[in-house]
A and B are shown apart, each in its own frame.
Chain A
Amino acid sequence: MFQLSVISDLIRISPHIFNLPTDEAVLNELNEKYANKVIHNLGLVVTIWDISKIEDGMLKPGDGCTYIKVVFRCVVWKPFVGEVLTGWIDQASEQGLKVKLEFFNDIFIPGDYLFEGSVFSKEDNAWIWQPDESTKLYLDVNEKINFRVEEEMFTNVKPKGPTNTVVDDETGEKKESVPPYAIVGSCQTDGMGCVSWWE
């Protein structure tokens, strides 16, 4: 679900875009700063919806830029708990399913949150739901599925410092980078799972 959030910020306009009209320059700067970024505890900012207020620019001694305080509304994607979303299965593993939505890919459905009686088959590399003895329903990769949002997790991702060459590579081993915003989904009620099952 998309929502509009009102945010105020101080924007720095560099001299090289002084030739643009103020609102256009501000919009460009805002889009550059916010588009496709996650705001902690808010959601994924898609784009700027409109600018409500642009104050007069301020100058700082020794700096050629102007600083403008703006109030704007932006489109934020933030599904609520219980919302039903449609996505595509990206990866399957023993832990569960990874789901992608093209623009947002940090969605995970743990095996425990799949239908009761679902098992992971290593040969097929897919989860299989057996509602009764004779039927086997496959959750294959790239299948279009519906799922319910169970939980959202924000992680405060700090900027990466310079790489320290003194420290051994041991610590710098490939760590799974934690996404700033992740969603846990479930497929347990009627209508969830592959879209084709319910048509």
Chain B
Amino acid sequence: MKIEVERDKFLSNLEVYHHLCGVQVKNSWLSDSKGTKRRKNTNLAQLESISRDLTSYLGKVGSCPSDHERLQKNYAWDSDSFVEALKRLNQYPLEKIEKLQILNFVPRTMVTLYSLIEECDQRFDQAQSEEILGIVNDCFPMEAVEGEDEEQQDITMD
């Protein structure tokens, strides 16, 4: 094994999420009923476990749809809101990595935005910061977060 390029590109959480969904669908790991579950390749247990755990994690944080949303949408993926958010964020002098963090993390409050952007108070004034939060809110509406909270409660109750 030889590592040719350590970091070729950065990926957003959503891209990883979508790729993993594709892997899961391809291997038909998603069907719940055991009867229809056909195991073509049992050697891929590690891949199955990490794709399951990672999609469930990504569904609970940030911009990715949660598990039940995914079911509703029948695993369809739309990147429109994501692309739009990126386009609108491009107006601001943000570093690439900061934009990526904003899109991964989806900050809802000023405090979280400040924690993602270095020296936010010096680089942006109050109004600009609020605009950035506004973009995030427009493109990734809050409903998703409420769904998350419910899930969260379910987990803690368990």
Given contacts A7-B2, A31-B44, contact A83 B101 (CB under 8 A): yes
Residue from the list B11, B20, B53 in contact with A3, Cβ < 8 A: B11
What residues of chain A lie closer than 8 Å to B152, measured between beta carbons?
Answer: 144
Enumerate A45-79 residues with CB–CB distance to B below 8 Å.
46-47, 49, 71, 73, 75
Partner of B53, one of A4, A9, A102: A102
Complex Cα gap A85–B104 (Å): 10
CB distance from A135 to the nearest CB of B (A): 16
Contact B43 A84 (CB under 8 A): no
Residues of A within 8 A of B12 (CB): 2
Contacts of A155 in B (CB 8 A): none
A146 and B112 in contact (CB under 8 A), knowing A3-B11, A28-B43?
yes
Nearest residue, chain B, Cβ from A195: B112
Q: B28-36, B54-62, B68-76, B85-93: which one contacts chain A?
A: B54-62
Q: Contact between B3 and A7 (Cβ–Cβ < 8 Å)?
A: yes
B44 touches A7 (CB 8 A): no
Chain B, 1-37, contact with A by CB distance < 8 Å: what is the 0/1 string? 1111111111111011001100100000000000000
Residues on the A chain within 8 Å of B104, using CB: 1
Q: Is B155 an interface residue (CB 8 A)?
A: yes
A195: min CB distance to chain B, Å: 9
Chain B residues whose CB sits within 8 angstroms of the CB of A31 once the complex forms:
44, 47
Residues of chain A whose beta carbon lies under 8 Å from any beta carbon of chain B: 1-9, 28, 31-32, 35-37, 39, 42, 46-47, 49, 71, 73, 75, 80, 83-84, 86, 101-103, 142, 144, 146, 148, 189-192, 198-199
6 tightest A-B CB contacts, nearest first: A191-B115, A35-B47, A103-B53, A6-B5, A36-B50, A36-B46
